[in-house]
Structures are given as structure tokens and as C-alpha cells.
Amino acid sequence: MRTTLPLKKLAAAFAVLAVLVALGIPGLARDKYETIDATAWGTSTQLGHNIGITITIYQYSTPEDQDILMQAFQKSQNQGLVNALEKMKAVGHIAITGTLGYDLSFIKLIQTPTGRTIRFVTNRPIHFGEAYYDTQTQYYNLTAGEINLDTQDKSKSNGVLYPAAQLTVGDDGQLTLNLNKNPWRLGDIIDWSGTPGEN
């Protein structure tokens, strides 16, 4: 009797997994969602470091979503943007190799003469130590990035990742992205297309 119980639990677990895949739960149905794999290379003080990242796109944000973010920023600047992103549903996911990652709240698609540009911004999870010790890093509470996909010559695809940033208005009235550390350069980009019409 004891030997059959684990087998029943294992069978039940596989059944649940099969249902989740059939429902298209994010992360379990790679063929449904567009997925972008890339290598991020550190610059300046992070020079010589590299990590793998995966971006999964469930859907692209709407012009209305962009308007909401712009209005929120105009009202309360960076914190307004953070609050608005918090209320948005996840439209994607970003993960560093070996981590669970976190949701992306805004992903914009821009058509270009050679392919597409994908821009994203989301709230950055604040680690316990940052909050507990009230470090300056917790005020850089956004993660943002841009990926340029060249469909004519995939070797020219590139991008940039800003892991910890905040958006401010400069003295000249222009939007400025302030970084806690340096940006990461993206390369070796592979775009796994999703199911047509799904995203």
C-alpha cells in the first residue's frame, strides 16, 4: 500500500502538468508565446561578466496602456509610473538564467525598416536587504530595455538592458533614464516566434 501512494501522487502531478500545458500557462507553452533568448554583457564596471536572459511575450501593450503610463508619470513622475505599472496585468516575463524572474508590465512593438524594435519597462522587485537597510538602490525601482530585431540579417540584432533604473525629467525638460549601475549590452539574440495571431 505504501509503495503505490507515491506512484499515485506522481501520476496526479503529471495529470496537473498536462492540464496546465493545455491551458497555455505562461512558461509551460513555449510554442504559443514569442520568446527571445539573449546574452547580456556587462559594460564599464561589469565588463567581463555575461548572463543569459529570456523574455517571454504574452501580448503587446496597447496605445491606451502607454497613455496611462504617460499620464501617471506627468502626475507623479517616477513613483507615478511605478504605481501605474503595478496595476497593469502582466504582458510578459523576464528571467535571468537560473532564476524564476518576474513579470513585465509594458511591452511596446515598433516596426522598423529592417524588422522590429521591442521596448519594455516594469517594476523591479526590491530585495529584502535593500528595504531593510533602506539602501539608495531601492529608489532605482524600474527595469527597462530595448531589443532591435533585424529580420534581414539576424547577426545585426542587438539590444540593451537597464536592470535598475529610474525615470526623471532633466533640467532641459527631457526624459532621462538614471541608472543604479551601467547598462548591459544584449547580443546572440534568438527570436522564437509564437503561434501566429496569439501575440
pLDDT single digits (tens) 94-111: 998 878 899 999 999 999
Copy the grid coordinates of residue 153.
540579417
Q: Mean per-residue pLDDT for 149-164?
A: 94
Phi, psi (degrees; rounded to nearest 5) at 39: -105, 130
Q: How many CB atoms lie within 10 A of CB 169?
A: 13
Q: Mean per-residue pLDDT for 165-187?
A: 79
pTM of the model: 0.76
Phi, psi (degrees; rounded to nearest 5) at 110: -125, 120
Q: In whole angstroms, what is the distance from residue 111 CA to residue 115 CA?
A: 6
Q: In whole angstroms, what is the distance from residue 27 CA to residue 39 CA?
A: 19
Q: What is the DSSP letter of 95?
A: E
Q: Which pLDDT score, from 0 to 100, does residue 176 have?
A: 74
Burial of 8 (0-12, 13-18, 19+ CB in 10 A): exposed
Q: Which pLDDT score, from 0 to 100, does residue 67 have?
A: 92
Q: Which pLDDT score, from 0 to 100, does residue 16 have?
A: 47
